[in-house]
Structure 1
Amino acid sequence: MPKRGGRLRNWKPNEHFEHDDRSHSNNTRRVSFKPGTNHRKNKFRSWNDASQILLEGDIDMGASGGQGPNKRGFRSRGGRLGSPAPRPAARKKFIPGVLPWYQIVIPYGAKHEKDVILRALLSFLSPDVFIPHYYKINGNAAVFFVDDVKIAEKLFYADRKIVMTDGFKLVVIVRNSVPNVTIDADMKQKMKLAMAKRYNATTKALDLTKFHADPDLSDIFCALFRPVIMLAAIDIIAENIPDLEALNLNDNKLHGIEHLKILCTKLKNLKILYLGDNKIMFLGSLDPLKLLPLVELYLKGNPLVKRFNDHDIYVSDVRKKFPKLVRLDGVDLPPAIGFDVSDEVTLPSNRQWFLVDQAGQNLVRDFVTQYFAIYDSDSRQPLLEAYEETAMFSMAATYPTGDMRNAPENKLNAYISKSRNIMRITERESRRRYLKIGKLQVVSFLSDLPKTKHDLLGFAVDLPVFTPGMIVLTMNGVFKETNVSGNPTRSFHRTFVIIPNSNGGFSITNDMMFVTNTTREQEAKAFSAGTEQPAAPVVQAPAVAPQPALQPLYDDNQRMMLNMLGQQTGMNEHWSVNCLQETGWDYQRALFIFNQLQSEGKIPPEAFVK
């Protein structure tokens, strides 16, 4: 039996409350002298009650700063001299719970009609209003749930402040709890009927906004923030409307949505998703939904939105997760910058060589053969003739990401110490020091690098620029260090910028090299394409620079005119030479004659065969 005038510390289902707390109390004190009665035991009853609350899964919303049960109280009569004066009990404070639902218990509420109790509570909370969910009588108590923490707090402080018409104070107990639910066939049928009236077949859209408050579900707990209920709802949707394109989950108190990844497999046509006014804390929580082809997303009203001080960054980060998004939070987004490529596109087959102009094929072949024949020889000094007087060279080196091979032969010490990696070397003077300027510095630097043997047949070569005034040549491949223990293989990338020189040949004006360790795949394929053909004999110094296939029978001006005429007319070299020679190397006259003969159909087809 609860102590008169005191608040009930715990309530159990089907427990009857025998006493009321009246505003007019009787001052007559009753004293019992029953043998064996220890009145101090009542102080410890709250500990057992609290344990029972935790076992039942409820959370007591009150917190007090008063004395605990082990503190001795003040004795007003016969007390020890100097005993401390009693402290007034601190007022209990409402502490929000971790669950978005709160159970409201009104002891002795069965003595009043439902409307009477709710009117009294609404009158006290005015102008605030609330919806009591799942109102029922349990024993002598009235029980219902609310889904608003602010309403729960105000009801908490309404305890014993509402006097009913019969003079009794209304006791209000607030717990952070959710109703028990068992998902059975009957519940699924009710959910299905509630969804049916919320579905728009024309737009293939389903509106489940605040689904738990649907009038057709007033007698069951159907809150979608509970994963088991959400998964049941998704199963119903997938079974009945698998082609759903729009789903509104606004205001359902969703927080953890990891289980929603099942949408990616069960509702593959879902393009519009509303998740507004929920409890989603972080943008990363949306990662399970990244596979959905969403074009519209609504997140407004979630805490994650307030984490962004810059709206543009918010939009950018959301778009990174959903690249096809065109509408966010009800606002149309500007077109994304990128390549509009369909998902079904097939890439062309890879090619080992790319030549922007087939006329440069012989030049590329001769350059690669002659240059690396000298580079792989015992002396690299003949390369002096290959570089322009003011040529520049730089080298960068690093280890592959995740490379865990720590053997001594995998160390890149010979390259790292001389690396000009401008992502790491930011000081201007250091950058200048690692840049080699002038062919003497370039060849001297190359001569100090380890001796090598390149896998010429494994080269991947590109010729992106081929003009009379400049050639750009890039290549990837592997080489083997021949003077290092274990003969380790390295991967490299070279970029050469080549220009005509005064001798009628070509010279390297810029050379960039990158070196790293080979991958295991590269290492397995290195030097496996067959025996390399012997390189062209190395010309002893003074060596000549690598020459193109078209040896300079003409001066620089004639060579330029020959290349330009070939590019503009499409004729091969033989016919271009004849045309220019017959006009005395007058380029404009040669082009005029070509156009005249071409219009008359007098140029044979073999003139265009290259």
Structure 2
Amino acid sequence: MAIARPDEVYHFANNLPLEVSYINTQTYSKCSSYDIKLIAQGYVWHQIVIQHNGKFRGRDGMSEILEAIFETVEGEELFPIAYRRGAKEDRFLVRQCKAAINKLFENNLRIQLSDASFVQLQVKFNVGDFKFGQISPHAKLTEALNRLYTCMERINGVDGILNLCRFNTHPEFFDLYVNLGNRAVLEAICNLIYRNDEKFRLVNGLILSDNGITTVAPLTVFAGVEFVVLDLRRNKIISSSRISRDLSEVKADELFLAGNPITNDRNYPECLRPIQTNFKLIDGIPVENLSKDYSPLDCEEDINRDGYRIDQNNKNDINLFQNSNDWHAIVIPDSGPEFTKHEILDYFFITVSQKLTDIYPCYYKFSSGEHQFLLRQCFDQLKYLVDVCKMEINVPRLASTSDKHAALSEIQIDKIVKYYILMNIRPYKRGQIEPMECIDKALTRRYNGINSLLNLDNFQSVEGLENIVINLSSPKILTRVLMQASRKLLCSCVELRLAHNKITNVSNVSKVLNIMSNLNAIDLGNNWILDLEDVKELSALGLKSLRLDGNPLCSQYSYAGEYIKAVRRHFPELTKLDNIEIKNKGIINVQKNFLCDVRGYDFVNEFVPRFFKCFDSHDRQSLKELYHQSAIFTLSFNYIVAQMTSQNFKRISKYRENSRNILKLSDLSRAHTSIHLGADQIMQVFFQLPSMRHDMLTFSTDTMMYNVCILFL
């Protein structure tokens, strides 16, 4: 029955008006079900009312409401029409969206906003009859696409790029809300494009930027199509696994993803490896450049085919490349090879000047008996290597000397290694290594905001530095890295760890670290620091904790007290040294267990329980395999006879017989006879000792020395 006097009339520019009447309407709110017969036919309009009670104002309020609604109905097609704002209620019309309405009812007709609050909805069924000529979402989509087909763009000399950037802002959608962030809506648009054979054959690319797209699954309809460009910039794509799956059959010369959350993933762009072969460029970068395994040196089997060789015969030609921005290759013949990658790079860094431009070897490889790595933007260093160093690397070795302290600093040149340079071996391309960018990403990966800790231990092992060498043993590069860290973290960093970086001194570092105003702990353990003079500048930071163990400087001191006093002369405010608390008088607090080097933990953890478990058993014979034929065993036993019962005195008699406590020996000749040599003698003593049981929970261990040859426990 026709509505004689409508309650509302909606007028549209190019469509018939839409009359709304609430006489025969059935309204639902705060419920999870409805009469299915009300939506059985598609020739009626329904109205959705948002009861926000004045919470929202302006266009942003409308956007937040619609975003919440689309999140609730995700995956189902919904086209809000004639959206109207109200002081306490907003409303819009819909048609042919049964699946979306079902999802609204599944959520009890309420939506959750970004602040976690809820807004109630009303659904009014059958507010008007649909008439041919009224606004139709799919007709409007087709109308907009047909207009865009007539003005397709030209990119990289290729026509036919269909531009759907900010698609919902086109004039055809003045009374229609089109949300490409909704999978079903995007799918409808992709199907309209693909099924229009006449127009689609002219399409060579798609621009879908700035559309709030969260999934590209609808693009699977273009499987097998080869586009020139697929632009997905500034959307909301998060999942690398989903985009890799959804684009597995989609190909394009260039894919744009910049501005999506996926690009902030620490594994990006490695996470796109499954689909990298589908594209030639990603965000303007050749896909081969995006791989951790990529190297410009992989382009040719023989790098000598390219580049301009500089050696002693034409060393003056180095000046021809003063303004070059290309890659240059250092090529070091080593047919053995005699040197490892780390050794050759260590020797190379000893050769370069510490006063000239920072130098960052990139893309190292060993091929055809040659160490090869690339450098760029360091012409002054290259000229220094040619003119001063004569393209020679001095291989040092420690000199033997009777002075154990001097042995740390006396170095002799053991060998000279010659090399040559290939200038302009490869042009620099976007996406290849940029040192400062690599450093910045590495700092981000290594900062723990919860503990205010910047952990740069073994900095070279940080993910993302596989193809570049950041040599922290260079004071200049160390200062540059810490300057970048200081500017990045400011007062948020409390603890800095720099262990295992081959650091030799920290001159000028204190000035940089002053920017970290709350820094109070630094770990410099296991580096190459020879003397306290090399770290004394850090005293200006007022540190509370400092770690230096594992450095050669520690061998200068015969006992702990001397070492502590020497350190505290420079760092009077220290309360902890080498991870051990220091008392007010400069004495280290006793630890139940001590490891001079954590590498000894596995051995101690296995040996101690195994030894004493066997010793406490009825069969001590298996201990024999633990002793060398030249092993020496002595036993010292302290006891107070007056405090012992007769039974205990009898038990310890065997310990008394074998004890070598010289202070208690009345007959000093026993000092020689109580030394037991070899596994057989040692086992004879063990068999004489009475049975016992050790309490492992009360054990204390002190590992005072550890290296590849010896452990002192």
TM-score by length of 2: 0.25
Larger RCO, structures 1/2 (Cα 8 Å, 6+ apart): 1
TM-score by length of 1: 0.29
**Rg: which structure is higher?**
1
